[in-house]
Copies of this chain bind each other. A is one copy, B any other.
Amino acid sequence: MENLFDYIDQNRERYREYWFNGLRIPSVSAEKKHKPDMLRMAEYLLRFLREELKFEGRLIEGEGNPLVYAESPAVEGAPTVLLYGHYDVQPADPLDLWKSDPFEPEIRGENVYARGADDDKGQIFAHLSGIKALMEREGRLPIRIKCIFEGEEEVGSDHLFAFLHGPEGKELLAADLIVVSDNTMAGPGQPAITYGLRGVIGFEVFFHGPNRDLHSGIYGGSVCNPALALSRALAGLMDEKGKIQIPGFYDGVRAITDQEHSVIAQVPFDEEQAKKDLGVSAFFGDPDYTIMERRCARPSFDINGLTSGYQGEGGKTIIPSWASVKFTLRVVPDQNVEKIIQATEDFFRAQVPSGIRMDFHRQQGAEGMVVPLESPYVAVASHVLETVHGKKPLFVRDGGSITIVAELWKVLNADLLMIGLGLDEDAIHSPNEHFSLDCFYNGIKTGAQLWTELAKMKK
């Protein structure tokens, strides 16, 4: 019988089409107009799991977008894996910066361009194709795989969070090991195992001034401008060195150990090249930490969107009726998310001048996490990644957040393997998101080989 990897290579185009069909469904969870697309995407995945992979499964409906759950038969003596992924994607705008339709995958050079090409549909379909390859060759899987795919990762994972804490969640999702591919490799050709994630808390704050836009000539100087009031509040949130000024914000932040300083320093990073790639003349942030440490092991604050008054061409001489900001705080172990949310609200409340009324909204927050590297699963995964890429993986802490992963890990009390299949430069969340064909095909091999090797472990 031919080699598994050769078989996968011979069937590339076919596997690619499953993925492309998924990319054509604009499953943007943040926009209400895409609600029907969320269901179409969930049904497409469920149909694939049932018809192509012979899994048993169902959609789990509830508040928000459906969860896709499906499982393969139990295998005596082999571990059970929970494979997590998300089928929702970020909004595609600004649309005019895309070189091709974000919901019609286009191959340019070595890459496939589409919203979700990498995050996370590309990584989901690499895994589904890996399972498909095993099924085609063996007719069965060597371990039980439970798939849980959610449609709200980009907007806070409320439904899966509720299901996990509900009556059947813990039992249905029970597994020895959780596998997640929603991160990146350490660089092209350089595999990685992600051992940490930052947590995240999303906020939206409105400052309301007069009940309508006012003429800035008639009223200017006598009515508090909500855009200025909001700017003043935001300006006080961080100093020029990048230190966040919310009282108590840094309480509990776990120090970076000496060992970790050196693990983080091993991840290749060319500062000059990175500046060129990003088009910035300088990096920013807390000078007490390296750039890579700031990105993954230290908390951060970012404005994601700012809106007030006239947005069109030319000018409009008004005092805007309101101003709003969307922002996120990233947190690390062992910051207390609830305390931070309260402190943030208190901070803003103290900044509201008279004449302004504040509306303060917060998302479900997620804690930062770091998983131990001394697990037998990590050893198996390292070996698999070396087999696929010809290189030992690096161990990386990721600055991004997968809200729900920390929660799954905590509640299910399982081991956790985070194996990113994409690259930093894939422009996820940006215009022209892409995934390299190489990453996709290597992802298929990684999955197929991982299930094969995990089956050999004594349970």
Contacts and interface: CB of A to CB of B under 8 A. Distances in A.
B225 A303 contact: yes
Interface in A90-131: 90-91, 93-94, 97
A220 B330 contact: yes
Given A222-B295, A235-B236, A430-B213, A304 B317 contact: yes
A208 to B, nearest CB: 8
Interface stretch (A55-63, A163-171, A279-287): A279-287
B302 A225 contact: yes
A220 to B, nearest CB: 4
A374 interface: no
Interface in A209-236: 209-225, 227-228, 230-232, 234-236
A316 interface: yes
> By DSSP majority rule, is chain A's interface helix, strand, loop, or mixed?
loop
Contacts of A219: 278, 295, 399
A392 interface: no
B326 A316 contact: yes
A279 B322 CA distance: 12
Interface string A279-314: 111111110000100110011111111111111111
A113 B237 CA distance: 43
A171 B301 CA distance: 61
* Residue in A31, A307, A323, A428 whose Cβ sees the most chain B Cβ within 10 Å: A307
Contacts of A355: 280-284
A30 interface: yes
Given A218-B295, A225-B303, A231-B232, 11 more contacts: A221-B330, A228-B237, A231-B303, A231-B306, A232-B235, A280-B355, A282-B354, A304-B315, A305-B316, A306-B320, A315-B326
19 contacts: A29-B314, A30-B314, A211-B278, A212-B430, A217-B398, A219-B278, A220-B301, A221-B286, A221-B298, A227-B306, A228-B301, A232-B235, A235-B236, A281-B357, A305-B310, A310-B326, A315-B328, A317-B328, A318-B430
